[in-house]
Amino acid sequence: MIRRRILSVVLLALLGLPGLAQSERAKQFGDYQVHYNAIATGLLQPEVARSYGIVRSRNRGLITVAVLRQGEAVPARIEAEAINPNSQLRRIAMQEVDEGSAVYYIGTFDVDHLETLRFRLDIEPRGAGREFELVFEQRFYTDE
């Protein structure tokens, strides 16, 4: 019961909390829908961060990605990187979180207050036979 409650809190936090950074984002690639978001880890509840081994900090960011096909979670290979305005590249190691009916991917990275990062994700859903590129920008407000 507690694990299920934490999962729903995590999914809300990871896939878009109203009032945080930005609301949920999604992009359609044929039959696949990719949900994604990036927030400062300091916005996560302490118990949620702890349960997923995420360090809460205003100088750490969290990117989350979920791939769906016809409403069902699909495992995928995801490579992520972020580039700051000075063209400094940050590769982001993505970790799969498999909760049975929910599969999503998380990765953390360093971030500064008022920094805008341009993210590039290469996403290959299992069985799709092709790769999708997703690019988005996120500005971080990390001072509390």
Q: Enumerate residues 6+ apart whose C-beta is below 8 A from 53.
A: none
DSSP H or E stretch at residue 90? strand 89-92
pLDDT attached to residue 144: 56
> For residue 54, what are its two tokens?
């995420």
Instruction: Give the residue numbers spanning the domain of 84.
Output: 2-139
Inside any domain, residue 88? yes
Give me the CATH number covering residue 77.
2.60.40.3340
Q: What is the pTM of this model?
A: 0.83
pLDDT attached to residue 142: 80
Inside any domain, residue 144? no
pLDDT attached to residue 27: 97
Q: How many domains does the chain have?
A: 1
Backbone angles phi, psi at 31, to 5 degrees: -80, -10
pLDDT tens sequence for the chain (144 residues): 333 433 444 454 444 443 444 456 999 999 999 999 999 999 899 998 998 999 999 899 999 999 999 999 999 999 999 999 999 999 999 999 998 889 999 999 999 999 999 999 999 999 999 999 999 999 998 875
130 residue type, one letter: R
